[in-house]
Structure 1
Amino acid sequence: MTDRDWYDDSEYQDAVRRAERATRFGWATIAAATGSLGCALVASAVVGIAVVIACYYIVVASHY
């Protein structure tokens, strides 16, 4: 027999710790991906607005 008693739940606790660690890693990965996509969306919006303003400036300047 093993040296552990029948009520030893160290394997269960270890599995719970590993699952919690994996869950934290998963949520951190999701948060990083969402943040990166948000920053990319904001950057593309700023570039698009800059292009529209530049085109407007070119059109207005060409009429003078």
Structure 2
Amino acid sequence: MTDRDWYDDSEYADAVQRAERATRCGWATIAAVTGSLGCAPAASAVVGIAVVVACYYVVVAAHY
């Protein structure tokens, strides 16, 4: 016989806690990836505009 009673559900509770932890980790990963993908176009647009402005500055400075 085991030392635990028939109504001991500690294994079930541990499994639920692990599942909840895995779910939180999964949602955090999804949010991070989605946020990164959302920020990438904005960041590339800013870099592109900076390159255009820098090229314009070089062309204008070369004429003086």
Residue 29, structure 1, aligned to residue 24, structure 2: no
Q: Distance in 2 between matches of 1:38 and 1:52?
A: 23
Counterpart check, 1:45 vs 2:45: yes
The number of residue pairs the alignment matches comes to 58
CA RMSD of aligned residues (A): 2.0
Deviation at 1:19? 0.1
Deviates more, 1:8-17 or 1:32-41: 32-41
The separation in 1 between residues aligned to 2:2 and 2:54, in whole angstroms, is 77
Q: CA deviation at 1:54?
A: 7.2
Alignment-derived partner of residue 9 in structure 2: 9
Q: Deviations over 1:23-50 (max 9, x none)?
A: 0000000111111111111112333455
Deviates more, 1:16-25 or 1:41-50: 41-50
Give the whole-Å Cα distance in 1 for the aligned partners of 2:20 and 2:39: 28
SS in 1 for 2:37: helix
TM-score, normalised relative to structure 1: 0.71
**Please, which runs of 5 or more residues in structure 1 have no aligned partner?**
none
Structure 2, unaligned stretches of length 5 or more? Answer: none
